[in-house]
Amino acid sequence: MKVRQIIYAAKFEGSPKESDFKIVDEDLGDQLKENEFFYEAIYISCDPYVRLLSDSYIVGKTTIPGYQLAKVLESKNPKFPSDSILVMNVGWRTGGKSDGSDVWYDRTDIPKNVPMSAGVGIFAMTGLTAYYGVNYVLKPKAGDTILVSGSAGAVGTVVGQLAKGMGCRVIGSCGSMEKIKFVKSVGFDDAFNYKTESVAEGLKRLAPKGVDLYFDNVGGSFSSAVLESMNKGGRVACCGAVSSYNSKVPAQAPVIQGTMALNSLSLQGFNIFDDIPAYADEIYVALKQWAGEGKLKQHEYLTSGFESLPSTFIGMLRGKNFGKTIVNM
Amino acid sequence: MKVRQIIYAAKFEGSPKESDFKIVDEDLGDQLKENEFFYEAIYISCDPYVRLLSDSYIVGKTTIPGYQLAKVLESKNPKFPSDSILVMNVGWRTGGKSDGSDVWYDRTDIPKNVPMSAGVGIFAMTGLTAYYGVNYVLKPKAGDTILVSGSAGAVGTVVGQLAKGMGCRVIGSCGSMEKIKFVKSVGFDDAFNYKTESVAEGLKRLAPKGVDLYFDNVGGSFSSAVLESMNKGGRVACCGAVSSYNSKVPAQAPVIQGTMALNSLSLQGFNIFDDIPAYADEIYVALKQWAGEGKLKQHEYLTSGFESLPSTFIGMLRGKNFGKTIVNM
């Protein structure tokens, strides 16, 4: 089987460039040992954490990390027979050979009334992250006001729908008028444009009773300002800091500890690798139910063709995407 | 009764100056209504939060806030008869008239084998804050490594003793060799001088297995660096940000959200006004037991005379104190 992968060709300095990536061909032969199988990518997920983790990559060697929805072609692994639909943590590659150890989740049972790309969206890391942050960290009750930063992004659009379904007042922040329109269509009560309105003003206008819960996708100065507007005892779910991923020097932001202490705020960081696996099965069951009842939809920004991955990724870091960024093979 | 108080005479800009304070005489007469009593200050506590809260003060009006150990002189309040020993939240004043509403805690039962100044130290806000942060937020288990910033300060010296008594490896940070010696004499396993050694180097040397728990008294850039050295799932108790209290502009520090997410760290802010009152009685019982067993001692930096309060306070913000800063009347 012949496949292509995309490797880390040059060190990211600030914003990644297309020349930091390189497509490499690979011939895997056509022999399978016991427990091995060949698979082919259907959808590849494009995620901000690719930027965050880059210090650990080896130039000229590391396959850009990422997960994909893949179909099993030929198999000597009884757990994953042909036509299995799997979420695989194998990086940016068109296909490959596996012994099953890099399978994250079996999604062969993905509901038929949902687009299959949900296998890398609401039914994979994106949905799991949103659900975990909302239900295991923030634990909203009806009537709470929740702010979602990066609300037009992959995780943000799912968080908004979940929180709305739980009876919260859901406020988003995003970077353009078009995105405000978009997140309202997704189900947010309202949103403000952080490029044209300060956090304090936006929240005063849209959350006059203050913010109880904050699902933070961006971090940095934006989040320092949010904390100032939070009600006493407020809780923050921190799933990333995309605002600082592109910084050449460590990004700086106003100190938060004074506000955290004065207002008894709590901040819980979490990530898909360490925190979610133990709950992934029960979360998937819940997500299927939400989707089955029509209360949770996948909103995606789909591009086409393996070779478009670098430009799609770069565009996503610049905020080009509406919803989950996925590349269709 | 004639008393003196110290008022906020000019707006703090950066580090407070002696001219920002003014002593004012007050004549309270000699009549008491039902439920009122006269009291006299014995010890006045000197606390960093006085700087933090200054935005809420009115120049020329506000008595500098603070609590004191006071003795009831004459009383028409059956709950607080003459000779009662009370922790009173009445600001910097030599005495006053009260209807009991500004009594924080009755400490008439303070153990005889402990210096009475413990009434504004280990048995008041300082001890309550330390105990709450350790036992209700960090919840250490034996063998955990805990870092205490501001370890030579009032709260830090109590935290160190409590954590040591619970079987932790206890590391401190402080600003001089003399303070390192001091905190080791208090019971810390070791400490590093943040002025001569980076956080990363200090922790690599003293906490080679990483930091599990962090009791944060300082915040800011120091704490951003600590988070980078914490073990996955680490917990932070955040009781202030003294490092940024003196800033004329909002202090900046490296963004922490990326690290919080990657290492699943949690940060809980808390303060003596909102979080501790509900637990104050049970914590006092515990603190008396610790002190009674000789496992908890008050370490204090005592100055003398009401009029020395401003200079003592200014010195404390500059790190002059070893342990709890108290002014003896």
Cβ contact, residue pair B271, A262, below 8 Å: yes
Q: Is residue B312 part of a domain?
A: yes
- For residue B233, list chain A residues with Cβ-Cβ distance below 8 A: 274
Residue B246 and residue B321 in one domain? no
The predicted-structure confidence for A122-160, as pLDDT tens digits, reads as follows 999 999 999 999 999 999 999 999 999 999 999 999 999
How many angstroms away from the CA of A116 is the closest CA of chain B?
Answer: 29
CB burial readout B181-218, b (16+ within 10 A) else e:
ebbeebbbbebbebeeeebeebbeebbeeebbbbbbbb
Residue A148 and residue A62 in one domain? no
- For residue A274, list chain B residues with Cβ-Cβ distance below 8 A: 232-233, 264
Residue B132 and residue B106 in one domain? no
Q: Is residue A188 part of a domain?
A: yes
Cβ contact, residue pair B233, A261, below 8 Å: no
Cβ contact, residue pair B264, A274, below 8 Å: yes
Examine the pLDDT at B242 and tell me if it is beyond 80: no
How many angstroms away from the CA of B319 is the closest CA of chain A?
Answer: 18
- For residue A269, list chain B residues with Cβ-Cβ distance below 8 A: 257, 259-266
Residue B130 and residue B102 in one domain? no
Cβ contact, residue pair B267, A263, below 8 Å: no
Examine the pLDDT at B249 and tell me if it is beyond 70: no
> Which helix (H) or strand (E) element contains residue B129?
helix B125-132
Q: Is residue A288 part of a domain?
A: no
- For chain B, the domain total comes to 2
- Among the candidates A269, A286, A320, a domain finishes at A269
Residue B61 and residue B102 in one domain? yes
Residue A79, judged by CB atoms within 10 A of its CB (0-12, 13-18, 19+), counts as exposed
Own/partner pairs for A292-296, CB < 8 Å, 24+ apart?
A292/A111, A292/A113, A295/A161, A295/A165, A296/A122, A296/A127, A296/A158, A296/A161, A296/A162, A296/A165
How many angstroms away from the CA of A329 is the closest CA of chain B?
Answer: 30
How many angstroms away from the CA of A261 is the closest CA of chain B?
Answer: 4
Q: Is residue B293 part of a domain?
A: no
- pLDDT average, residue stretch B26-55: 94
Cα of first residue to Cα of last residue in chain A, in angstroms, is: 16
Residue A151 and residue A238 in one domain? yes
- For residue A65, list chain B residues with Cβ-Cβ distance below 8 A: none
Residue B42 and residue B143 in one domain? no
Q: Is residue A291 part of a domain?
A: no
- For residue A263, list chain B residues with Cβ-Cβ distance below 8 A: 269
Nearest alpha-carbon partner for B126 in B201, B173, B66: B66
CA distance A9 to A16: 11
Cβ contact, residue pair B239, A256, below 8 Å: no
> Which helix (H) or strand (E) element contains residue A159?
helix A154-165
Examine the pLDDT at B142 and tell me if it is beyond 90: yes
Cβ contact, residue pair A260, B267, below 8 Å: yes
Nearest Cβ partner for B257 among A219, A255, A257: A219
Residue B323 and residue B228 in one domain? no
Chain B residues whose C-beta is within 8 A of a chain A C-beta are 52, 216, 218-220, 223, 232-233, 238-241, 243-245, 250-271, 274-275
CB atoms within 10 A of CB A201: 12
Examine the pLDDT at A247 and tell me if it is beyond 70: no
Nearest Cβ partner for A255 among B253, B259, B264: B253
Residue B220 and residue B96 in one domain? no
pLDDT at A52: 80
pLDDT at A319: 86
Chain A residues whose C-beta is within 8 A of a chain B C-beta are 52, 216, 218-220, 223, 232-233, 238-241, 243-245, 250-271, 274-275
What is the pTM (predicted TM-score) of this model? 0.91
The predicted-structure confidence for B293-329, as pLDDT tens digits, reads as follows 999 999 999 999 999 999 999 999 888 899 999 999 9
Counting residues of chain A whose pLDDT is more than 90, the rounded percentage is: 89
Examine the pLDDT at A267 and tell me if it is beyond 90: yes
Q: Is residue B249 part of a domain?
A: yes
Residue B256 and residue B131 in one domain? yes
Residue B130 and residue B98 in one domain? no
Residue B316, domain CATH: 3.90.180.10
Examine the pLDDT at A246 and tell me if it is beyond 90: no
CA distance B110 to B286: 13
CB atoms within 10 A of CB B57: 18
- For residue A272, list chain B residues with Cβ-Cβ distance below 8 A: none
Contact B124, B103 (CB under 8 A): no
Q: Is residue B81 part of a domain?
A: yes
Residue B175, domain CATH: 3.40.50.720
Domain residue limits at B264: 125-269
Q: Is residue B278 part of a domain?
A: no
Residue A113 and residue A145 in one domain? no
Q: ipTM for the complex? A: 0.90
The predicted-structure confidence for A89-106, as pLDDT tens digits, reads as follows 999 999 999 999 999 999
Cβ contact, residue pair A274, B216, below 8 Å: no
Nearest Cβ partner for A216 among B52, B244, B257: B257
